[in-house]
Structure 1
Amino acid sequence: MNQIRHSFVGKLMVLLGVIVLAVVIMIVVSFQHSQRVIQATNTLRDTGMRINQYSHRANTSFLTMDDQSNMWVGLQGYGDQSLSQATFNQIKAAEGSLNQSLQDLAPLMTKANDQTLLRHAMQDANRYEGYFSQVEKLNATDHKAAQQIMFITNSAVSNALTSDLNRLEAIGKTIVEQNTVNTLTDAMSQERIILFGGVIIVLFALGIMFFTYILLRPLSLIAKRVHQISDGDFSVEALHVKNKDEIGVLAESYNEMVNRLREVLISVSDSAQHVVAASQELMANASQTSVATERIAENIQEVATGAEKQTSSTHAAVSTISEIGMSAQEISKRTKSAAATSVDATALSNQGLVAIQQVYDAMVGIQSQVRELASNVSALENHSQHIGEIVSVISEISGQTNLLALNAAIEAARAGEYGRGFAVVAEEVRKLAEESAASSKQIADRIHSIQTEMSATVELTSSVQQKVENGMNDVQTAGAAFTNIQRGIQEVAQQIEEVSSVVERMSVGTLDANQSMKIVSDLTSGAFTSTRNVSEAAQEQLASMEDIAASATELSRMAETLQEKLSHFKV
C-alpha cells in the first residue's frame, strides 16, 4: 500500500506543506519588516529627535546670546546697572546652553561630514566667545571699540555660526523625516506582504478544499453501494474510479469483492437447486424401491417368475443411486470452492478496512497540522497587536511634543519682541508634532487592517479544521459499512459449511444405499434356490429404503431452507 503512486495522503501532505511554507515565509518577512519598523522608530527616538532637539536648543541659545549681547553693549552708558547685569547673566546662561548642546551633539554625529560641520560650529562658537570676551573687557573702558568689535568685527563669525547651527538643525529634521519615511515605507511593505500572503493562503486553502472534495467523492459512492450490498442487493454496477491512490485501490478491491460474492451466491443457489432436485429424485426412487420390496414380500411365491424383472429393477436402482452419489460429490466440491471464495472475500474486506484505517490516520495528521497552523496565525496576530501598542506610544509622544510646542509659543508670546524667535521655533515644533501624530495614526490604521485580516485567517483555519473533522466522520462511516460486509460474508461462509455437511451426509447415505442395492441384486440372483433368503433380503431392503427416504426428506428440507436464505440476495 505504501508503494501506491500518487498517494492520497502524499497529495494532502504536499498541499499542507506548501501552505505551511507560505505561512512561515510570510511570518519571517513580516518579522523582518517589524524589526525594521522598530529599528527606525528607535532611531527616530534615540538619534533623530535628540539631534533635532540639541541642534534646535543650540540655535535658540545662540540667538538669545547674540540678541542679549547686542542689547548689553547697547545698554552701556544708560546707567541702569541692574538691567545690564540681568542681560549679562542671560548671555552667560545662553553661552552655557550653547556649549552644552554642541557637546551633546558630538556622540550623535556618526557621518564624517556631520562631524566636520559640528567641529566647525564649535570653532565658530569659540571665536564668537573670544570676541565677546574682548567686548566684555572693553565695554566699560572703551565703549566704541567694544561696539566696533560687537557689531562689525564679530558679524562674520556670528553669521558663520548661525549658518552652522541652521545646518545642524536641518540635519536633525532630515534624519527625523527620513526615519519617518522609512517607517511608513516598511509598514506599507509589511501590509502588502501580509495581504499577498493572506491571499495565497486563502487560495491554497480553497484548492485543498476542492481537491479533498474531488478525492473523497468516490468514498460516498462506495458507502452507498456497500449499503445496498448490506441489504442483500448484489445487482449493483461496478465502480469506475480514476484515482490512482488508496481510494482507487479501495474501489478496485470493492469491485472484485462484489464480483466474487456474486459468483459465490450464484454457485450456492445453483447447488441448492441441484440438491433439491437430487433429493426429490432420491425420494421418488426410494418410494419406488419400497413399493417393489413390499410386492416382493407379498408375492414371495411368485419370486421365481418375477426374479428376472426384480434383478433388472435392482440394477436400475444401483445406477440411479450411483448417479446420486456422483451428484453429491459434485455438490461437495462446489461447496468447498464456495468456502474458499468466502475466505478470499473476507481477506479483501480486511484489506478494505486497513485502507480505511490508513485514510483515517492521515486525516488525524491533517487535523494536527491544521491546529498548529491556527496556533501560528494567532501568534502572528499577537505580534501585530504589539506593534499597534508601539504606534500608540509614538502617538502619545507626538501629542506631548505638540503640547510642549504650544506651551513654548505661549511663553514666547509673553516675552513679546524678544520671544519672537521662540514663537517661530515653537510653531515649527508644533507642525512637526502634528505630522508625527498623523503618521502614527496612519500606521495604527494599517495595523488595524492587518489585525482584521489575521482574524479572517483564523476563522478560515477553523473552517478547514471543521472540514477535516467531517472527513474523519465519513471515513469512520465507511469503515463501519465494511465491517457489516465482513459480517455478512462470515454468515454466508457458515451457511456454506452447513450445506457441505449435509451433502457429506447425503453422500454417505447414497453409498449405503448403493451397497444395499448390490446386496438386493445378489439376493435376487439367488432367488431361484432360496426364497427364504429372498424374503429376508426384501425386509432388509425395505428398512434401508425407509432410511433413505427419511434422509432424502431431511436433505430436501435443508435445501429448501438454503434456497429461502439465498432468496434474500439479489444478483
Structure 2
Amino acid sequence: MGGQKLSVNLILILSFGILLFFLCIVVALSLYRASNVANILYQINDVNLVKQRYAINWRGSVHDRSIDVRDVALAKELSQVNQLEGDIKRLKDIYMEAEGKMNSNFKSANLLTSQESAIIKEIQQIKEQANPLIEELIRNKKAGASEDDVNNLVRKLAPLFTAWLSKINVLIDLEESLSDTLTDNLRESVESFSFLLLFLLFASLVIGISVIFIVISKFSKLLGGEPHITSQIVSEIASGNLSHKINYKHKTSMLASVADMQNKLHDMIRSIMNLSNDITESTDKVLSNSNQAQSASNEQNKLTQSIANRVYAINESIKQISLSAQLSEENATKSVDLSMQGTEAIQATEREIIKVTDLINTSSHNIKALQQQSIAISNSANLIAEITDQTNLLALNAAIEAARAGEHGRGFAVVADEVRKLAERTAHSTNEIFQIIRLIQSGITESVDSIEIIIPQIEKGQKFIADSVSILNEIQSQARDSLTKAQEVNTSSKHQEDAMQEITTSLQNISDLSEHTSQALNSTTQTIESLSSISRTLKQHTKHFKL
C-alpha cells in the first residue's frame, strides 16, 4: 500500500478475506473430493453392485435351472416333470426380470463398458442356445422320449450351462474387480485428501496466526493503546477534563490524534476563556461608553431642540427687523424725493431772484431775513447730516447684530427703532427746510418793492441760494446714501432671514439625526448587552472544562 494508511474496514476485510479465502479453498476442495467420493460410491453401489446383483440373479437362475434340467432328465413321473417345468419357468422369469432391468437401467443408458457389453453379449448367445434345448428336453420328457434322446439333450446342455455360468461368473468377477478398483481409488483419494486437509489446516493456522499478528499490529498502530483506555480518555475529554496526560505508542495512532485533539482543545478552550474575558471587559467598556454616548445624544437632542426654538425666535425678530428696514427704505426714498423737490424749488427761486434782481435792491431787510433763514437751512442741513451719520452707524450696528444673532437679537430691535426715529427726524428736518424755503419765497415777495435798495444783499442772497442749492444737493446725496444703506440693510435682513431659515432647517435635520443617533445607540446598547450575555454564557460553558 506504500505510504497510504489502511482503514480499519480495509484491514478487517483483508484479514477476514484471507481466512475466508482459505476456508473457501478448503470447502471447495472438500466439495470436490466429496463429489468424487459420491461419484465413486454411486458407481460402486448404484452401478457395479446393481450389475453384480443382476448377474448373481442370473447365476442363481441358471444354476438352479441346470439342477432342474438334470432332475427333469432323471424324473420318472410326469408330475415331477410338470413341477420341475414350473420351477424352470419361474427361474426363467427371474432371469428375464434381471435381464430386463440390466437392459433398461444400464444398456439403454449407455452405462455399460465395452468389456461388460461383450460378456453380456456372450451370455445372451449362450442363453439363446440353451433355452430351446431346455424346452425341447421338457417336451421330449413329457412325450416319453427315449433315455438316449434325453441324455443327448442333457449332454448338449451340460457344456452350455457350464459356459453360461462361467460367463456370468466372469461378469460378477468383473463388477467386483471394478468395485475393488474404485474402492482402492476412493481409499487413496480419502487418504490424499486427509493429507491435503492437514496441510490446509496447517497453512490456515499459519496464515491465521500471521493475520492475527498483523491485525493486532495494525490496530495497535491505529489505536495507539488499548480500546478501553482510549474510550476512558475520550470519556474524560467529553466530561471536560483536559488535564489528563495521554501516553501513546505510535505518533500516527488514534490515541496520538486524541492527545493532539486534547492539546488543541486545551489551547482553544484557554483561548476562548481569555477571549471571553476580553470580550466581557470590552463589552462592559463599550456598553458604558454607549450609555454615555446615548445620554450625550439625548442631551444633544434637547439642546438642539432648545437652539431650534431660540433660532425660531431670532428668525421672528429678524423678520421684524427686515420689516423695519423695509419701512426705513421707504422713508429714505420719500426723503430723497422731497430733497429733490426742494432742490428744484430752490433752483426755481434762484431763477426768479435773477429775474427780479432790480427789485431786490429795495428788499435788503428781507434779504437779511432770508440770510438768517439760509443759516437756519444750513443748521437743518447739518442736522440732516448728523442724522445721516447716525443712520449709517445704526445700520452698521444692525448688520453686526444680525450677524451675531443669538441672545443679542433684542439689541437689533433697538437699533431698528433708532433707525425709525432718525428717519422721522430726517422727515421733520426736511419739512422745516420746506418751511424755510417758503419763508424765503415770502420774504423775496415782500422785498420786491425794495429790490433797488438791497441789490448788494440780493447778490449775497443769490450766493446764499447757491449755497442752499449745494447744501440741498448734498442733503439729496446723503438722502440717496441713506436710501442705499437702507436698501442694503433691507437686503441683508432678507439674506439674514433666509440664512436663519436655513439654520432652522439644518437644526431640524440635526434634531432628526440626533433622534436617529439615539435610536441607533439604543440598538447598539441592546446588541452590546446581548454580546455581553453571550460572552458570559460562553464563559460559563468553558468552566465545564478542567485545564
| Higher gyration radius (CA) | 2
Instruction: Give the TM-score taking structure 1 as reference length.
Output: 0.41
Q: Whose RCO is larger (CA < 8 A, sep 6+)? A: 1
Instruction: Give the TM-score taking structure 2 as reference length.
Output: 0.43
